[in-house]
Amino acid sequence: MGDYLPQITFVPNLVSALNVTCRAFGGDGGSVLMQVPNYPPFLSAAANNHQTIVAAEVVYKRDENGIIRYEIDFDAFEAAITPDTKLFLFCNPHNPVGRVYQRWELERLAEICLRHDLIVCSDEIHCDLLTPGQTHIPFASLSPEIADRCITLMSPSKSFNMPTLDVAFAITTNADIAKRFNQAAAGFVSHPSGLGYAAAQTAYTECQPWLDEALAYLTANRDYLVDYVQQNLPGIYTTCPEGTYLAWLDCREANLEPDPYHFFLEKARVGFNNGKDFGPGGEGFVRLNYACPRATLTEALERVRVALQG
């Protein structure tokens, strides 16, 4: 067991911490477990460290209003684990599918990770970006046994819109995990700048009112977007994100050539993220970031509507 003193290692950004984590815990030629579709640097962190990805696809469900919601297939999750899997890279809230996992879901994942003796790296960068009624539960808070095998990655960069200030951090209560993380980072990853530390401290101690306003704006943008897609974009379906500011649009029924990403880029001059970069389950989807002024969102959606009409 760890000594329960939280150990915090500061790094300039979270993506470098994902790579350090694979280096430290993924094992030589080992495999890294992750849910897909997922934020592309999850996939590249394993590949950069010559590790195989063992992917557990989250399950696509669509309700009678055309709203997509993903669920975990726990049997598929467990079945993806191989004898050389040492590490589970977890994204909660889940980019790109917008889920904020509930306690019972986290507990079932935790139970599987314990049984297979996995280290869990929980990327919780979107933890403050929740819609009303949602609660973020840190994976490491589930139990002392889970905390003892968990490293949590966080940063103020999403919530307070300050990625260029370069500050993120890794937290664990297990001294051995902290040591291995720090050893893997040594010589590769620098520290945040003084400005980054100061900005993080200011964000966390003084900027809650700003965040509250931003969240209200984001929720209104989300609702506008979901309604717009339902009313105006035939053949396109969206998630109604519980967290993050990212919508995940299923364009498969619209049959867009050569693929939805290039279709919208060329015909609408709207740049989404290409779903196929998010791993299995991403083909035929695009990701839309609605953390922008409403006028920008409106114009993008209008252009998409017109492009779909041909």
Ligand X SMILES: Cc1ncc(COP(=O)(O)O)c(C=O)c1O
Alpha-carbon distances of 144 from 129, 171, 172, 205, rounded to whole Å: 26, 14, 11, 28
Beta carbon nearer to ligand X, 119 or 307: 119
User: Environment class of residue 65 by beta-carbon count within 10 Å: exposed (0-12), middle (13-18) or buried (19+)?
Assistant: exposed
Residue 78 three-state SS: helix
Q: Does 247 bind ligand X (CB under 6 A)?
A: no
Beta carbon nearer to ligand X, 17 or 304: 17
Beta carbon nearer to ligand X, 31 or 157: 157
Tell me, by CB under 6 A, how many residues bind ligand X: 12
Site for ligand X in 146-165 (CB under 6 A): 155, 157, 163
- Is residue 116 within 8 A of residue 85, CB to CB? The reply is yes
Closest CA to 17 of 125, 139, 163, 153: 153
Member of 31, 95, 159, 239 binding ligand X (CB under 6 A):
95
In the chain, what's the furthest Cα-to-Cα distance? 62
Site stretch for ligand X (CB under 6 A), options 13-21, 46-54, 79-87, 226-234: 13-21
User: For the CA atoms of the chain, what is the radius of gyration?
Assistant: 20
* 90-126: burial string, b at 16+ Cβ within 10 Å, e else: bbbbbbbbbbbbeeebbeebbbbbbeeebbbbbbbbb
Token pair 């996995």: residue = 118
Member of 24, 125, 200, 249 binding ligand X (CB under 6 A):
125
Q: Does 91 bind ligand X (CB under 6 A)?
A: yes
Give the pairing of strands 52-57 and 31-36.
Answer: parallel
Site stretch for ligand X (CB under 6 A), options 8-16, 47-55, 176-184, 262-270: 8-16
Site stretch for ligand X (CB under 6 A), options 7-15, 144-152, 182-190, 211-219: 7-15
Report in angstroms how near the CB of residue 152 gets to ligand X at its nearest: 12
Member of 7, 13, 159, 174 binding ligand X (CB under 6 A):
13
Q: Does 138 bind ligand X (CB under 6 A)?
A: no
Beta carbon nearer to ligand X, 160 or 228: 160
Q: Write out the residues near ligand X by the rule CB under 6 A.
A: 13-15, 39, 91, 95, 123, 125, 155, 157, 163, 168
